[in-house]
Amino acid sequence: MDKRSFLKSTAVLGAAALVMPGMLLTPKDAQANALESLGKGPFKLPKLPYGYDAFEATIDKQTMELHHTGHHQAYVDNLNDAVKGTPAEALTVEAILKNIKKYKDVVRNNAGGHWNHTFWWETITPEKTTLIGGLNDALKKKWTSVDLMKAEFTKAALGQFGSGWAWLCVDSAKQLFITSTPNQDNPLMDFPGIIKGTPILALDVWEHAYYLKYHEKRRDYVTNFWNIVNWNVVEQRYQEAIAGKEKK
């Protein structure tokens, strides 16, 4: 290949690598987008405390990377766009969620998406953690055994038709309960149809969270999820919830 045709083919490849709307992002494109959008509004994509390949046995690297730099980044960007020039720009996500009825659907979907994913990254860990302490006792008191709690949670995760989330929460009477929400709704939202509570554990059951590895087998994904739960974080959230501490 001479220099001219080399340059020509490189230019064609360069054009093909541009991200067009609706195209499936490669991890590299998604990362470039993520870097480019940093600092463009009050809401930021959190850095993860582990590598994208940290969960290979449960969640593959490509899914982790696209989920973080593609999907979560999009919720952050869309939320920043949606609140631009409004008083919500100065609020925390929690404050927006608490009064979500005041906002348009675009804020609800993207504030929910941003909060839910931030919560989700903190819910999982590649390190082995053990369920001990006050939450362990409370789960057994409520469900007789931790396995029965997991069974009810799995039912909620599988029963959520289409995209959504399954949640383990603490209610205002400090009691544990399990629920699910569609789309990017969550139990912090003051919205008709949502059972309100303080989430302590969540599972993303959107297909984007598991489809590359599990395809239609959502049950296998839910079963494997228990291997990566960060019980230290879930215990801490439980203790804060029963102490009445919540983020403003």
User: What residues line the site for Mn ion (CB under 5 A)?
Assistant: 204, 206, 209
Minimal distance, residue 149 CB to Mn ion, in Å: 23
Minimal distance, residue 168 CB to Mn ion, in Å: 18
Task: Quote the CA–CA distance of 221 and 145 in Å, as a whole number.
Answer: 21
For Mn ion, which residue has the nearest CB?
204
Q: Which residue's CB is nearer to Mn ion, number 74 or number 170?
A: 74
Q: Which residue's CB is nearer to Mn ion, number 165 or number 231?
A: 165
Longest dimension (CA), the chain: 75
Identify the H or E element spanning 204.
strand 198-204
Minimal distance, residue 83 CB to Mn ion, in Å: 21
Q: Which residue's CB is nearer to Mn ion, number 64 or number 135?
A: 64
Task: Quote the CA–CA distance of 209 and 12 in Å, as a whole number.
Answer: 33
Cβ burial, residue 49 (10 Å; 0-12/13-18/19+): exposed
Task: Quote the CA–CA distance of 168 and 176 in Å, as a whole number.
Answer: 7
CA distances from 29 to 18, 72, 111, 208, 237 (A): 8, 14, 24, 17, 35
Minimal distance, residue 172 CB to Mn ion, in Å: 28
Phi-psi region of 133 (alpha: psi -120 to 50; beta: other; left: phi over 0): left
* Token digits of residue 98: 């608490």
Minimal distance, residue 173 CB to Mn ion, in Å: 30
Return the residue matching tokens 């912090």. 188
Q: Which residue's CB is nearer to Mn ion, number 83 or number 203?
A: 203
Q: Which residue's CB is nearer to Mn ion, number 55 or number 206?
A: 206
